[in-house]
Homo-oligomer: A and B are copies of this chain.
Amino acid sequence: MTSIKKISFVGSGNVATHLAKAFSKKGILVHQIYSQTCDNSEILAWQSNAIYICELNELDLDVDLLIFAVKDDVIKKLAQEIIAKNPNLKMVHTSGSVSLEVFNGAVNCGIFYPLQSFSKTKKINISEVPFLITSQQPEFKNELFALAHLLSDKVYEFTDEQRKHLHIAAVFVNNFSNHLFALAQDYCEKHQLDYQLLKPLIRETIAKIDVLLPKEAQTGPAKRDDVEIIQKHLNILQNENLDLFNLYKLMSESIMKMNNEEN
């Protein structure tokens, strides 16, 4: 059981939205949701039975935990303002790449990083999301573990360093592969082709890596060392879209390099 019963959020974006709703469902009191812009916090507060505030000095410091789910570059500034008022307030952030140091001066602080990509309009099964926990205070760390276990069975301790590396890998598998889909969508539209035709292929790309390691699942011209096709594709792209040309070239070279390292 977690001793954390009453929490507030700094931020009302995708991560805050999914966490606040999930905690609220599990019986945790979501007290306040602060957002500078105020546009999202009202909706989110309504969804999670919380109070929304648009001024940081309206933040009630009498909570068991404050969760920072804001853009990386503002965590430190906001955190230090609050630590100056109450260094005993327990606090975490949800970022993959920001170190514990942003909380310098806080007695109990940690990181509560859900390794998932959240979009407001897309429901998610939070019980399958890995939560990576970092804290140097053993008791507080246990509390964070218990809190994360309310939502998911997959809770792990990670150092700052480990989390940063996993975050980079996450950017590659999630953000960059989604961008490849977006580029393909654009390319299809430009050539008046139905992007939806690619859906079974995209689904299979993922289904495959449930049974094979990605390296074993690799197919395509670069995997086959089929330089003739690669050159053909590059010739088409060079005249159409230099960005796609550069990406095609770099990706193909990288695949061929991985081939060579394996052989």
Contacts and interface: CB of A to CB of B under 8 A. Distances in A.
A18 B237 CA distance: 30
A117 B205 CA distance: 7
Contact of A130 (B154, B200, B222): B200
Contacts of A179: 214, 218, 222, 251, 254-255, 258
A258 B246 CA distance: 15
Contact of A203 (B191, B195, B206): B206
A186 B168 CA distance: 12
A175 interface: yes
Interface stretch (A54-62, A86-94, A159-167): A159-167
Interface stretch (A3-11, A24-32, A41-49, A223-231): A223-231
Contact of A178 (B117, B171, B208, B257): B208
Given A181-B177, A205-B178, A223-B175, A116 B168 contact: no
Nearest to A206: B206
B168 A172 contact: no
Nearest to A187: B169
Given A116-B201, A119-B212, A226-B73, A173 B184 contact: yes
Nearest to A152: B200
Contact of A172 (B180, B199, B214, B236): B180
A139 B180 CA distance: 38
A172 B184 contact: yes
A201 B164 contact: no
Interface residues of A, number: 93
Given A200-B128, A226-B72, A187 B172 contact: yes
Given A72-B228, A185-B213, A246-B250, A174 B201 contact: yes
A219 B73 contact: no
Give the most central of A73, A208, A222: most B CB within 10 Å. A208
Given A177-B177, A201-B116, A208-B117, A218 B182 contact: yes
Nearest to A191: B165
A71 interface: yes
B257 A247 contact: no
Nearest to A223: B175
Contacts of A118: 219
7 contacts: A119-B208, A168-B187, A170-B184, A172-B181, A175-B220, A180-B180, A247-B254
